[in-house]
Amino acid sequence: MSTPISKRAQAISPFHVMDILAQAKTLQARGHDIIHMEVGEPDFETPRPIIEAGIKALEQARTHYTPALGFPELRQAIADCYQTHYNVKVSAERIIVTPGASGALLLAMGALLDNGRKVMLADPGYPCNRHFARFVEGEVNAVPVTAESHYQLNAKHVEDYWDAETSLALVASPSNPTGTVLTKSELAALSAAVKKEQGTLIVDEIYHGLTYDGFDAPTALAVDDKAFVINSFSKFFGMTGWRLGWLVVPEGYTEVMDRLAQNLYLAAPTMSQYAALAAFETSTLNILEERRHILEHRRDALMPALEQVGFKFAVKPQGAFYLYADCSALLNEQLPDSMALSRYLLKEAGVAITPGLDFGNFEAEKHCRFAYTTSEERLLEAADRIGRLLRRHSVTGYGRCEADE
């Protein structure tokens, strides 16, 4: 008899990009040069001061559990960062250190979403959110968003789509996959609309720090001290592999999060927590500022290069490191959707991107996501390869390729 797998686990689908990744590996093993633009993490390594603090922690044998809510000095350092950076007062008591933003999402959904209740999300949006909802036996109220609202949920969406089962709204600003940012007044209006429905707002601020054109993303805590705010050391601080993030909860919610954290994962990694203390040092912040400039440069180089080969952008993203491109002008009978196009670009041009289907259903077939997480030179080479491929095939027609066999 085979071992049964829970319905909950069966309902969690793999990302379509895994298919692209597997093919990329096959092609790489055959000696093809693949340009990776599907990966949601920057190519930079963790800043040296953080690595050194991590090494020091290990040398000092900081290898035991910390309290489930996190090591107190780190909770205080995160609280201080709200004061310094956003001029918002948050007590360390309200900071819960987690294993990445993923751990924070699990705590927030686990504590706030009841069986059968719905969380309102933007479609397109970060794919794991709907799976977290499913995992805690909740449902999703997916709202199609367009360039008109900068691909973000707004107060009007809440008014139009909130229903009796919906109890939460979750937004990410800057967003994955669109890189768009909510302004302070948009956040305030969203928060008021959610409160009017007696709902709770969760804001994922994981891409904070990575904003461009002189724009600084406001924290939701500046307009709503009842919001749950998620953040992470993964993206801006370049610590994806250290698995460290945090959740800011309103007064009165620390105890429930403590209980959940104790039971779900005991504590975030100790060595990473010590290392992260160095994340707020000036030497680290200077390195991160340089990287932010590099990312901005990449965005400014890649966007026009992709436009030249036929992709369209309804908005210029102000944050994160993604471009959400409309590829409808490149589709045809042989390449009917963004999944087919993604496979084709990988096989024929050696360029790996993420098809829109990974981020939801709404117009997913005509969108794809480019991550500018590799050097500008490689990004431009990718655009050039795509351009040459499409020109060639506009003359010869689309053909089969090696990886099809």
User: Which region, judged by CB under 6 A, interacts with ligand PLP, from 56-64, 95-103, 284-292, 381-389?
Assistant: 95-103
User: Which region, judged by CB under 6 A, interacts with ligand PLP, from 84-92, 94-102, 214-222, 291-299?
Assistant: 94-102
Q: Which is nearer to ligand PLP, 126 or 274 (CB)?
A: 126
Give the residues across from 228 on adjacent strands. 202
Of the residues 176, 191, 211, 342, which one makes contact with ligand PLP according to CB under 6 A: 176
The answer to whether the beta carbons of residues 275 and 53 sit under 8 Å apart is: yes
Signed CA dihedral, 204, 231, 133, 10: sign only: positive
Of the residues 71, 82, 126, 246, which one makes contact with ligand PLP according to CB under 6 A: 126
Q: Which residue is nearest to ligand PLP (CB)?
A: 100
Give the footprint of ligand PLP on residues 50-89 (CB under 6 A): none
Nearest approach in angstroms of CB 41 to ligand PLP is: 7
- Kindly report whether the peptide bond that precedes residue 4 is cis, defined as omega within 30 degrees of 0: no
Q: Which is nearer to ligand PLP, 350 or 360 (CB)?
A: 360
Asked if 205 interacts with ligand PLP (CB under 6 A), we say: no
DSSP secondary structure letter of residue 180: -
Contacts within 8 Å (CB) and 24+ apart, 402-405: 402/27, 402/30, 402/347, 403/23, 403/26, 403/27, 403/346, 403/347, 404/347
Quote the CA–CA distance of 106 and 120 in Å, as a whole number: 16
Asked if 172 interacts with ligand PLP (CB under 6 A), we say: yes
Nearest approach in angstroms of CB 128 to ligand PLP is: 7
Asked if 206 interacts with ligand PLP (CB under 6 A), we say: yes
Q: Which is nearer to ligand PLP, 242 or 344 (CB)?
A: 242
Quote the CA–CA distance of 324 and 337 in Å, as a whole number: 15
Asked if 152 interacts with ligand PLP (CB under 6 A), we say: no
Quote the CA–CA distance of 187 and 172 in Å, as a whole number: 11
Report how far Cα 83 is from the mean position of its chain's Cα atoms. Answer: 24
Could you tell me where the beta strands, DSSP code E, fall in 138-204? 139-144, 166-172, 200-204
Signed CA dihedral, 328, 332, 337, 338: sign only: negative
**DSSP-derived pairing of the beta strands 228-232 and 200-204:** parallel
The DSSP result for 214-241, as a single string, is T--PPPGGGT-TTSEEEEESSTTTT-GG
Of the residues 183, 240, 328, 374, which one makes contact with ligand PLP according to CB under 6 A: 240
User: Which region, judged by CB under 6 A, interacts with ligand PLP, from 96-104, 116-124, 251-259, 373-381?
Assistant: 96-104
Asked if 204 interacts with ligand PLP (CB under 6 A), we say: yes
Asked if 40 interacts with ligand PLP (CB under 6 A), we say: yes
Nearest approach in angstroms of CB 38 to ligand PLP is: 12
Give the tokens for residue 399: 């053909």
Quote the CA–CA distance of 224 and 174 in Å, as a whole number: 18
Nearest approach in angstroms of CB 106 to ligand PLP is: 10
Asked if 101 interacts with ligand PLP (CB under 6 A), we say: yes
Quote the CA–CA distance of 86 and 156 in Å, as a whole number: 27
Asked if 100 interacts with ligand PLP (CB under 6 A), we say: yes
Q: Which is nearer to ligand PLP, 204 or 381 (CB)?
A: 204
Asked if 143 interacts with ligand PLP (CB under 6 A), we say: no
Nearest approach in angstroms of CB 234 to ligand PLP is: 4
User: Which region, judged by CB under 6 A, interacts with ligand PLP, from 45-53, 80-88, 193-201, 232-240?
Assistant: 232-240
Quote the CA–CA distance of 106 and 190 in Å, as a whole number: 23
Nearest approach in angstroms of CB 42 to ligand PLP is: 11
Quote the CA–CA distance of 17 and 73 in Å, as a whole number: 39
Of the residues 234, 272, 273, 338, which one makes contact with ligand PLP according to CB under 6 A: 234
Asked if 232 interacts with ligand PLP (CB under 6 A), we say: yes
Asked if 360 interacts with ligand PLP (CB under 6 A), we say: no
Q: Which is nearer to ligand PLP, 322 or 344 (CB)?
A: 322
Q: How far apart are the first and last CA of the chain?
A: 35
List residues binding ligand PLP (CB under 6 A). Answer: 40, 100-102, 126, 172, 176, 204, 206, 232, 234, 240, 245
